[in-house]
Structure formats: structure tokens, C-alpha cells
């Protein structure tokens, strides 16, 4: 009787050592202390989707979850459930065999008590108890090993499921990382576009400030109708003026300085050379006249001597003309250069005027127009305190033109 009791107790002890056999659903323990049971449908790195026993689905944030206990795979794995049922039948069968052996042993013991002596009966009883105990221990050991094997299989199934969930979460994290990278790249492009637009607005703002700070002449310049011949006419009057009017300061200054320099130096060099030539020729002519008169009075009999003296005086005067003639030639070269600069100035003004005329005029309010104008403006006298007596009208008549 005691042995049977120990056998049942050991079976219950083994069952209680494996509490996962009693679980039939997934259990979620919240940080608030609440416990929710149901079937986990899906989950990711942020939430868990759970289906309750009544079929209602709910989503729980993983931040609020303390622990998740998954249901026993036996309830979802038919093969494992079949194996556990087989193990239970084996245990019941062993228990029945044990009871049969115990009944036979009891009957045999009763017969031995009748036929044998008390000492022999006691020895046989002890041997029977030892044999029965060994058989029980052997059967329990076999059942224990079988249960442990089933338990390991369940743990392997749970581990495999955890690995699948971990793999899904890893793939989800990679996907989220890719999405985050795309969002960062999009944000970077939007920031670059915004910075470009800010730069353009700042440039427009500076231009607007420049236009607002312009005087009436500058406003008229940008608002008038443009003609390419305006640049050519100004450059024809004075080289470089048309270029500067078209806001090409560098070209205008270059043509003006080059033309003035070549023309002034050429004119000065040619004039000074011409003046020196005139003086030298006049001086030579006077000298020859005087020498001819003196030689005619002194040596009237020797004409060859007088001719040689006059030729020497002429040659001496002609030798003085080299420097004036060289200066005249240099001046002519500079004057020709100034003419070429003038022609290049007109040609440049023509092409510059064509580009300048293509710019659309800007409409600025208050831009003066060329021609006669008559303006009436109210004025006030600060010496009068009465508003009705201090107001007056100021008339202005004039003629405006764009130059």
C-alpha cells in the first residue's frame, strides 16, 4: 500500500515539475500587474497583436509589457499531443501491471505463510519488496527519461519559435532603417532646396534694396525703353561713354583712356615735330640767303668755292630735320592708332547695344518720363497754426529728358 502511494506521489511530482504542461494559451503580464490570456497573432518591435478567447483582437505596446509566456506547443502541435497521450497510456499501463503483480505477490505471500516457516516467509517477503521496488524504480526512471525527452522537444519548439520571431524583428528593423535613411535623404534634399531658395530671396532682397535706394535718374534708366543705337550714339560722341551707359565700366574706361592717350600723344608729337621742322627750315633758308650774299661779295671770281659753302650750309640744316620728322611719324602712328581705337569702340558699342536692348525694361512707380510736365503739390507754412490757413498749392512746370 505504501509502495502504491509512493508511486502515485512520484507521478504527481513529475507532473508538477513541468508546469508548462498545464498551459493552454499565451499569457501576457503587464507592468501594471494585469494578466491577459489569448493567442498572439503577430508582433513587431513596437506592439503585439493578441486574439482573446472571445475572438476579439487587441494591440498592446511592448513598452507596457513585462513578460510574455507562450502557450504549450502541445496544444498547437498534433504530433506532440499524440506523443504525450501515448506516454500517459504507458504510465497507466505500468500502474495496472504493478497492481496485478502486487495482487499476485500478496496471494503468493499468503500461501507461503501457510506452507512455509515464518523465517522463510520473512526473507521471501523482503526479497519480493526489493524486487518490486527495483521494478518500480526502473519503470519510473524510464518514464522520467521519456518525459524529459518530450520536455526537451517542447523547449526546442519554443526556441525555434523565438528564433523565428527574432528573425522577423531583425528584418523589420532593417526595413525601418532603410525607410529612415530614405527620410533623412529626402530631408537633406529639402533642406538644400530651402537653402537655395533662401539664397535667391536674399539676392532678390538686395536687388530690391538697391533699386529702392536709387535716385530718379537710375529709376528712369531701368524703366525706359531701350534702343541699341543709344549706345552707339554715345560712343560716337565720345569713345567709352556708351559702354559706361550700358553699365560696362571696364570696357568704357578702357576705350576712353586708350583713345585719349593715343590721340593726345599723337597730336602733340605731330604738332611739335611740324613746328620744329618749320623753324629749322626757316632758319636754314635764312642762313643760306645770308651766306650766298656774303660769298657773292667776297669771292666773285671763284664760283665753285661759293657753291660748296652753300651746299655745306644746306646739308647742316637738313641734318637737324631728322628728329622733327621722326616725331611727326610717331605722331601719325599714334593718330592712326586712335582712329582704330575709335572704330573698335563703335563696333563694340554696336554689339553691346544689341544685348543691352534685349533687356526688358522694369516698371517702377513714380518713374519720370521725358517731355514737358506740370505738377501740382500741396504745401504747408510752418508759421501758421491754423490748418485751413497753412495749406497751399505749389505748381511746377518743366521739361524732363533722359540723357
Last residue of a domain, one of 164, 184, 215: 164
Domain that holds residue 48: 2-164
**Cα of 112 vs its chain's centroid, Å:** 103
Domain shared by 237 and 123, yes or no: no
Residue 17 lies in a domain: yes
Of 35-49, 152-166, 205-219, 303-317, least confident by mean pLDDT is 303-317
Q: From the CB of residue 155, how many other CB atoms can be counted at a distance below 10 Å? A: 12
- When pLDDT is cut at 50, 70 and 90, the band that residue 336 belongs to is very high
Q: How confident is the model at residue 146 (pLDDT cuts 50, 70, 90)?
A: confident
Clarify whether residues 266 and 160 are in a common domain.
no
- Same domain, yes or no: 152 and 239: no
pLDDT at 284: 65
Q: Is residue 16 part of a domain?
A: yes
**Residues 11 and 160 grouped into a single domain:** yes
Q: In this structure, is residue 212 part of a structural domain?
A: no
User: How confident is residue 295, by pLDDT bands cut at 50, 70 and 90?
Assistant: low
126 and 251 share one domain: no
pLDDT for 138 beyond 80: no
- Worst-scoring range by mean pLDDT, 126-140, 242-256, 290-304? 290-304
Cβ 253 vs Cβ 240: under 8 Å: yes
The sign of the CA dihedral 400, 375, 369, 253 is: positive
Burial 60-88 (b: 16+ CB within 10 A, else e): beeeebeebebbbbbeeeeebeebbeeee
Q: Is the pLDDT of residue 365 over 60?
A: no
- Do 141 and 234 belong to one domain? no
Considering the domain architecture, whether residues 159 and 263 belong to the same structural domain is answered as: no
Give residue 110's pLDDT: 53
Confidence of residue 313 (pLDDT cuts 50, 70, 90): low
10 Å CB burial of residue 184 (0-12, 13-18, 19+) is exposed
Residue 220 domain-assigned (yes or no): no
User: Which CATH number do you get for residue 6?
Assistant: 2.30.30.100
* List of residues 6+ apart from 170 with CB closer than 8 A: none
Closest CA to 30 of 71, 75, 77, 62: 62
The total domain count for the chain is 2
Q: Dump pLDDT digits (tens) for 316-335.
A: 656 677 777 888 888 889 99
Q: What percent of the chain has pLDDT over 70?
A: 54
User: Among residues 138, 164, 190, which one ends one of the domains?
Assistant: 164
Give the pLDDT band of residue 342 (cuts 50, 70, 90).
very high
**End residue of a domain, out of 318, 340, 358:** 358
Supply the DSSP string of 5-25, one letter for each residue: HHHHHHHHHHHHH-GGGG--S
Q: In the predicted model, is pLDDT for residue 121 greater than 50?
A: yes
Q: What is the pLDDT of residue 340?
A: 93
Does 403 reside within a domain?
no
The answer to whether residue 387 sits within a structural domain is no
Asked whether residue 141 falls in the same domain as residue 46, the answer is yes
Q: Are 220 and 211 in contact (CB under 8 A)?
A: no
pTM for this prediction? 0.34
Report whether pLDDT(51) > 60.
Answer: yes
134-140: Cβ within 8 A, 24+ apart:
135/98, 135/101, 136/3, 136/6, 136/7, 136/98, 139/94, 139/98, 140/7, 140/10
> Quick check: 65 pLDDT over 70?
yes
pLDDT of residue 328: 83
**Rounded distance between C-alpha atoms, residue 60 and residue 53, angstroms:** 16
- Write down the pLDDT at residue 163: 82
116 and 13 in a common domain: yes
Write out pLDDT tens, residues 177-207: 888 888 888 888 999 999 888 888 888 777 7
pLDDT band at residue 145, thresholds of 50, 70 and 90?
confident
Residue 263 banded pLDDT, cuts 50, 70, 90: very high
At 274 the pLDDT is 83
Query: Within a domain: residue 301?
Result: yes
Number of H helices, E strands in the chain: 10, 7
Pairwise CA distance, residues 211 & 204, whole Å: 10
- Do residues 235 and 150 both lie within one domain? no
Least confident of 73-77, 93-97, 284-288: 73-77
Residue 60 has pLDDT above 50, yes or no: yes
Percentage of the chain exceeding pLDDT 90: 4
Band of pLDDT at residue 403, cut at 50, 70 and 90: very low
Nearest CA to 234 out of 222, 247, 243 is that of 243
Q: Check whether 103 has a pLDDT greater than 80.
A: no
Cβ–Cβ under 8 Å, residues 252 and 242: yes
d(CA 137, CA 26): 36
pLDDT given for residue 13 in this prediction: 45
For residues 287 and 51, give the distance between their C-alpha atoms in angstroms, rounded to a whole number. 137
Instruction: Out of 6-10, 98-102, 376-380, give the one with best mean pLDDT.
Output: 98-102
Same domain, 66 and 147: yes
Whole-angstrom distance, CA of residue 239 vs CA of residue 59? 86
Q: Are both 254 and 344 inside the same structural domain?
A: yes
Mean residue pLDDT across the chain: 69
- Asked if the structure places residue 53 within a domain, the reply is yes
Amino acid at each position: 500500500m505504501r509502495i502504491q502511494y509512493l508511486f502515485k506521489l512520484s507521478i504527481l511530482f513529475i507532473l508538477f515539475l513541468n508546469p508548462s504542461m498545464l498551459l493552454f494559451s499565451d499569457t501576457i503580464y503587464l507592468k501594471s500587474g494585469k494578466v491577459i490570456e489569448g493567442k498572439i497573432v503577430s508582433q513587431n518591435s513596437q506592439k503585439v497583436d493578441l486574439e482573446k478567447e472571445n475572438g476579439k483582437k487587441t494591440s498592446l505596446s511592448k513598452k507596457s509589457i513585462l513578460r510574455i509566456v507562450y502557450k504549450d506547443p502541445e496544444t498547437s502541435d498534433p504530433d506532440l499531443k499524440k506523443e504525450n497521450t501515448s506516454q500517459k497510456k504507458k504510465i497507466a499501463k505500468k500502474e495496472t501491471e504493478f497492481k496485478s503483480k502486487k495482487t499476485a505477490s500478496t496471494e503468493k505471500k499468503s500461501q507461503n505463510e501457510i506452507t512455509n516457516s515464518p523465517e522463510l516467509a520473512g526473507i521471501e517477503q523482503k526479497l519480493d519488496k526489493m524486487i518490486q521496488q527495483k521494478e518500480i524504480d526502473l519503470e519510473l526512471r524510464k518514464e522520467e527519461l521519456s518525459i524529459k525527452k518530450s520536455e526537451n522537444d517542447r523547449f526546442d519548439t519554443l526556441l525555434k519559435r523565438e528564433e523565428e520571431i527574432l528573425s522577423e524583428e531583425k528584418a523589420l528593423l532593417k526595413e525601418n532603417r532603410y525607410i529612415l535613411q530614405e527620410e533623412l535623404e529626402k530631408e537633406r534634399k529639402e533642406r538644400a532646396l530651402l537653402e537655395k531658395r533662401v539664397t535667391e530671396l536674399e539676392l532678390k532682397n538686395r536687388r530690391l534694396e538697391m533699386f529702392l535706394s536709387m535716385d530718379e535718374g537710375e529709376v528712369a534708366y531701368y524703366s525706359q525703353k531701350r534702343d541699341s543705337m543709344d549706345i552707339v550714339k554715345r560712343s560716337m560722341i565720345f569713345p567709352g561713354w556708351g559702354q559706361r551707359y550700358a553699365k560696362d565700366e571696364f570696357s568704357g574706361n578702357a576705350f576712353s583712356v586708350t583713345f585719349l592717350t593715343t590721340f593726345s600723344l599723337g597730336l602733340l608729337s605731330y604738332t611739335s615735330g611740324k613746328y620744329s621742322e618749320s623753324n629749322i627750315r626757316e632758319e636754314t633758308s635764312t642762313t643760306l640767303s645770308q651766306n650766298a650774299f656774303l660769298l657773292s661779295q667776297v669771292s666773285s671770281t671763284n664760283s665753285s668755292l661759293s657753291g660748296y659753302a652753300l651746299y655745306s650750309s644746306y646739308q647742316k640744316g637738313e641734318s637737324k630735320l631728322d628728329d622733327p620728322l621722326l616725331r611727326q611719324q610717331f605722331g601719325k602712328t599714334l593718330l592712326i592708332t586712335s582712329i582704330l581705337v575709335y572704330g573698335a569702340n563703335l563696333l563694340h558699342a554696336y554689339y553691346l547695344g544689341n544685348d543691352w536692348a534685349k533687356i526688358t525694361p522694369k516698371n517702377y512707380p513714380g518713374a519720370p518720363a521725358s517731355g514737358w510736365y506740370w505738377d501740382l503739390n500741396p504745401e504747408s507754412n510752418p508759421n501758421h497754426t491754423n490748418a485751413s490757413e497753412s495749406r497751399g498749392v505749389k505748381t511746377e512746370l518743366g521739361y524732363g529728358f533722359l540723357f
